[in-house]
Structure 1
Amino acid sequence: MADDKPDVAWRIIGGLVGLATGWAARKLLTFVWVKATGKEPPVDTEAPEVSLAEAIGYAVLMGVGMSVAQIVVNRTARKRYDAWRALKQVTPGQ
């Protein structure tokens, strides 16, 4: 039964990885938006001065970009963590 519960270390690492990934992905996607459009991303997508196409484009870029970043980084981090745990279990006396 104890194996069903996530490891506390993984929960902490996963949370920190999630925060760092979200921050880095947002910075990267904002940079991509500025390079592609030549202007800052819309702060309020419901504002009348923001076109519908711009609001939808930004939402799609951020939604897909953030999701892809989270999936890739979480899977990679989990594989590294599992490999580290397996190595730690094999190494006697530590």
Structure 2
Amino acid sequence: MAKKDGGEVGPVLMGFVAGFAAEFVMRKALTFAWTRATGEEPPTDLESPDVSLGRALGWAVVAGVGVEVARVLAVRAARQGLIRTAPEVLES
């Protein structure tokens, strides 16, 4: 069976959804872990002078790296899963 027009939409859409979900879940997990470790909520306004530079940089690094790693892994896993199932889907 020949590919339909826009055959790249599936992997892109799947990657977007997986990345968005991973980012949401990871941010919640990091917020929980930060609160448990420090006893305080993570800073929401990193530019505020009321937030110490150490706390602002610490949260920025933890959140940035954690969320991006989760997003990359989720997108790769989703696309890999789609590639593995694509021949089965195309045959039906």
User: Shorter-chain-normalised TM-score: which range?
Assistant: 0.7 to 0.9
Give the Cα separation in 1 of the matches to 2:77 and 2:11: 13
- Give 1:42's aligned amino acid: P
Q: How does 1:1-94 map to 2 (within 5 A)?
A: 7-89=8-90, 91=91, 94=92
Closer/same/farther in 2, CA of residues 38 and 6 from structure 1, 3 Å limit:
farther
Distance across 2 between alignment mates of 1:74 and 1:26: 16
Q: Tell me how many residue pairs correspond in the alignment.
A: 88
Q: Does the 8 A contact of 2:16 with 2:75 survive in 1?
A: no
Are the structure 2 counterparts of residues 44 and 6 from structure 1 closer, same or farther at C-alpha, using a change threshold of 3 Å? farther
The two structures have a TM-score, normalised by structure 2, of 0.84
The structure 1 segments of at least 4 consecutive aligned residues displaced by more than 3 Å after TM superposition are none
8 A Cα contact 2:22 2:70, kept in partner = yes
Deviations 1:57-91 (A, max 9, x none): 000001110111011111111111100003334x4
- Runs of 5+ consecutive residues of structure 1 not aligned to the other structure: none
Instruction: Tell me: CA distance 1:6–1:34, structure 2 relative to 1, closer, same or farther (3 Å).
Output: farther
Q: Where does structure 2 lack aligned partners over 5 or more consecutive residues?
A: none
- Label 1:60 to 1:6 Cα distance change in 2 as closer, same or farther (>3 A): farther
Q: Could you say which structure has the greater relative contact order, defined with CA pairs below 8 angstroms and 6 or more residues apart?
A: 2
Aligned CA RMSD, in angstroms, stands at: 1.8
Q: Distance in 1 between matches of 2:42 and 2:55?
A: 9
